[in-house]
């Protein structure tokens, strides 16, 4: 069970301290949402920020790119310190080529679908990626409500992915929803507003991990 706090919900005025708190709090990964204002209706942050936080954070950088042209930025993401890059099936470019480019840079590759895209469309790529991300909100903003109707996608992916593939969920994950996602087969949980801004990050991360483990099939 991997917990990947989403930096989008951090207080950017004291980012190093925020990242330190999740790292010390036992987070497994750091989820980094890059948005271009085109693929999704919001702009977050990009390479200069990732480059700046790399030396102050020892966590595995799980970079989720919500951008229209992923292939243009893969080499830059590597230079900035990304460990894994998850792009969207709905973005431009041949997904097989995007995966190949991510691997050629020595990073792990993930592929994601928005809520409206059937999981079956991922089938041709499942043997090539290390991670599949099922969005449980419309991508673009933190703090939205979990879409429980995405659970059949998780179940289908757990059946159809190679053993060992990380099955990640992102959007609306909190103490109330995480068990549902874990029971459907997810083993990596992005959590933004359920961790950042809370009193005790270690306590939140620990509670999420325990609830997920207890519900796992
Ligand atoms: C949404 C982002 C998420 C977001 C999750 O487009 O991909 O990673 O930060 O935030 P919460 O956990 O608050 O729903
Ligand atoms: Zn995300």
* Residues belonging to the active site: 33, 170
Residue for token pair 């429980």: 148
Tell me the average pLDDT across 4-23: 98
Mutate which of 6, 136, 148 for ligand 1 pocket (most atoms within 8 A of beta carbon): 6
Please report the atom of ligand 1 found closest to the CA of residue 64: 7
d(C-alpha 58, C-alpha 3), whole Å: 15
Tell me the average pLDDT across 177-204. 98
Rounded to whole angstroms, what are the CA distances from 142 to 9, 111, 145? 7, 20, 9
- Does 208 score more than 70 pLDDT? yes
Let me know the angle formed at the C-alpha of 184 by 121 and 187, rounded to the nearest 5 degrees. 90
Three-state DSSP at 119 gives helix
**pLDDT (tens digit per residue) in 97-131:** 999 999 999 999 999 999 999 999 999 999 999 99
Q: Tell me the two tokens of residue 142.
A: 């933190």
Average pLDDT estimate for 186-197: 98
Predicted confidence (pLDDT) per residue in 122-177, tens digit: 999 999 999 999 999 999 999 999 999 999 999 999 999 999 999 999 999 999 99
What's the mean pLDDT in 207-213? 98
Q: Answer for the pair 28, 3: CB distance below 8 angstroms, yes or no.
A: yes
Mutational test site, ligand 1, from 4, 22, 33, 177, max ligand atoms within 8 Å of CB = 33
pLDDT computed for residue 217 by the predictor: 60
Q: How confident is the model at residue 36 (pLDDT cuts 50, 70, 90)?
A: very high
CB of 192 sitting under 6 A from ligand 1: yes
The Cα angle at residue 13 between residues 9 and 14, in degrees rounded to 5: 85
Tokens of 203: 């306590």
Rounded to whole angstroms, the Cα distance separating 67 from 69 reads 6
Strand-pair partners of 111: 87, 132
140 lines ligand 1 (CB under 6 A): yes
């Amino acid at each position: 069970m991997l917990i990947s706090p989403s930096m989008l919900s951090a207080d950017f005025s004291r980012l190093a301290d925020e990242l330190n708190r999740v790292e010390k709090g036992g987070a497994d990964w750091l989820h980094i949402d890059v948005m271009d204002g085109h693929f999704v209706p919001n702009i977050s942050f990009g390479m200069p920020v990732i480059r700046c936080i790399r030396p102050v954070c020892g966590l595995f950088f799980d970079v989720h790119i919500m951008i229209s042209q992923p292939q243009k930025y893969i080499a830059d993401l590597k230079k900035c310190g990304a460990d894994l890059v998850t792009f969207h099936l709905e973005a431009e470019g041949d997904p097989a080529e995007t995966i190949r480019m991510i691997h050629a840079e020595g990073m792990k590759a993930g592929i994601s679908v928005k809520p409206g895209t059937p999981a079956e469309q991922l089938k041709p790529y499942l043997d090539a990626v290390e991670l599949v991300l099922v969005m449980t909100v419309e991508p673009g903003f933190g703090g939205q409500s979990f879409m429980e109707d995405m659970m059949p996608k998780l179940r289908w992916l757990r059946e159809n992915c190679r053993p060992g593939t990380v099955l990640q969920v992102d959007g609306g994950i909190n103490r109330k929803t995480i068990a549902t996602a874990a029971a459907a087969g997810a083993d990596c949980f992005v959590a933004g507003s359920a961790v950042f801004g809370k009193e005790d990050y270690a306590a939140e991360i620990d509670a999420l991990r325990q609830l997920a483990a207890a519900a796992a099939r």
